[in-house]
Structure 1
Amino acid sequence: MIEYALAFAFVALAIALAMNLWRLLRGPGVGDRILALDTMVINAIGIIVLAGIADGSGTSFEAAMLLAMVGFVGTVAYCKFLLRGDIIE
């Protein structure tokens, strides 16, 4: 039963990534593109966690945590650059 749930979750996250890629490429504004990139990071974290569940390894959960931290810092840096034009004051 878990195999079917994992397969469904992988397909759902793949569709979500495709939709985010579309918004990233065709977004009307820079803010929409930053939001799409942040959502793509969240979906990638979901795929890494699902792969860890499927493989039964704990290393992928640490990788997902590192990607979450890097994604958060990247989103904050992009938004700060968009608002102020400079990242480091």
Structure 2
Amino acid sequence: MSLLLSLCLLALTVGLAMALVRLCLGPSLPDRVVALELFATLVVGMIGLLAIAYGVSALLDVAIVMALMGFMATIGFARFLERGGQRDD
């Protein structure tokens, strides 16, 4: 079980690195918003795996809060773009 958790954490870490590259180098603001949402989703997955690995159920509450924060950030960016905010595309 420990090997499987390690492999999953490694895959999520690689995904986080790729999402971070897209977040920094994204050619337009919508690309960066999608990368931010992906980043938040991968962090939630990592927190969930760590909750399983360490057996700490309080980490699941942290994952839920992180998921809600990522969702609210995406909604905020969408409202910003909808109201005529700066667009790069």
Give me the TM-score of the superposition, normalised by structure 2: 0.91
Cα deviation code 1:59-82 (max 9, x no counterpart)? 000110111111111110111101
- C-alpha distance in structure 1 between counterparts of 2:76 and 2:84, whole Å: 10
* Residue aligned with 1:28, SS: coil
- RMSD across aligned positions (CA): 1.1
User: Secondary structure of 2:44's partner?
Assistant: helix
Alpha-carbon distance in structure 2 between the residues aligned to 1:32 and 1:44:
18
Aligned counterparts of 1:39 and 1:48: Cα–Cα separation in 2 = 14
> In the alignment, which residue of structure 1 is the partner of 2:61?
62
In 2, distance between residues paired with 1:73 and 1:85? Answer: 19
Question: Following superposition, which runs of at least 4 residues in structure 1 exceed 3 angstroms of deviation?
Answer: none
Superposition pairs of residues 41-52 of structure 1, within 5 angstroms? 41-52=40-51
2:84 and 2:57 map into 1 onto residues whose CA distance is: 40
Aligned pair count reads 85
Offset of residue 55 of structure 1? 0.3
Aligned to 1:9: 8
**Cα distance in 1 for residues equivalent to 2:37 and 2:61:** 19
Match for 2:80: what amino acid?
A: F
Question: Identity of aligned pairs, percent?
Answer: 35
Ranges in structure 1 where 5+ consecutive residues have no aligned partner: none
TM-score using structure 1 length: 0.91
Highest RCO, 1 vs 2 (Cα 8 Å, sep ≥ 6): 2
Q: Aligned partners of 1:11 and 1:61: how far apart in 2?
A: 20
Instruction: Indicate the residue corresponding to 1:84 in structure 2.
Output: 83
Name the SS of the counterpart of 2:31 in structure 1.
helix
